Amino acid sequence: MNSVVVNGILSGLKEGNKAFVNGQAVNFEKIHKQRMETAVKGQNPEVVVIGCSDSRVPPELIFSAGIGEMFVIRTAGNLVGQLEMESISYAVDHLGAPVVMILGHSYCGAVKAAKDGSAPYYLKATAETIKAAIGDESDQKNCELKNIDVGVKKLLKNELIKDKVASAELAVIGAYYCLETGTVEFL
């Protein structure tokens, strides 16, 4: 991926996160305009975000993003399975998104349940997937970071993603959101 493009996108994400942390108001005039434009012209997101379903982790708010700027997929534990991979591939190939981000966060309940072995029966596959990623690690934050890293590596095994990264059309990154501070650390 052209480093100037990626750096520009990451700079925008960082500025958006800074605005979020500083409590700056959402620009409703901008959002209204984006809604009207994307209704007619379609979407052209710069970033695909695979984030956690946790209600405390809304990517569009965290990055002060407007309508059509992000293609967001949310699953418990920010995991990537077959269905998520198909959505990611669509956003990358059809919509031309140049950046894919796995966004994990602090105090992730899915990671904690996998780590502690306390996941309920209906999260069995989620817990097993996360447990495979974190192994015997016991520190919560290290588990969350390992889970993000494994997600990034899984993306890079996908043929479409791998080819687009190799041809410098796509960047794949990990990021970690701190619930307490509101800040995002790009990994």
- Structure confidence by residue, pLDDT tens digits, 48-72: 999 999 999 999 999 999 899 999 9
Say how many domains are in the chain. 1
At 163 the pLDDT is 97
Helices (H), the chain: 3-21, 28-41, 59-62, 82-93, 109-116, 124-134, 140-157, 159-166
CATH of the domain at 96: 3.40.1050.10
At 1 the pLDDT is 55
At 2 the pLDDT is 66
Q: CA 65, CA 13: separation in Å to the nearest integer?
A: 8
At 16 the pLDDT is 87
What is the per-residue pLDDT across 113-144, written as a single tens digit (0 to 9) for each? 999 999 999 999 999 999 999 999 999 999 99
Query: Which of the 8 DSSP states describes residue 142?
Result: H
Query: Could you tell me the residue range of the domain that residue 19 belongs to?
Result: 3-186
Confidence of residue 23 (pLDDT cuts 50, 70, 90): confident
At 174 the pLDDT is 98
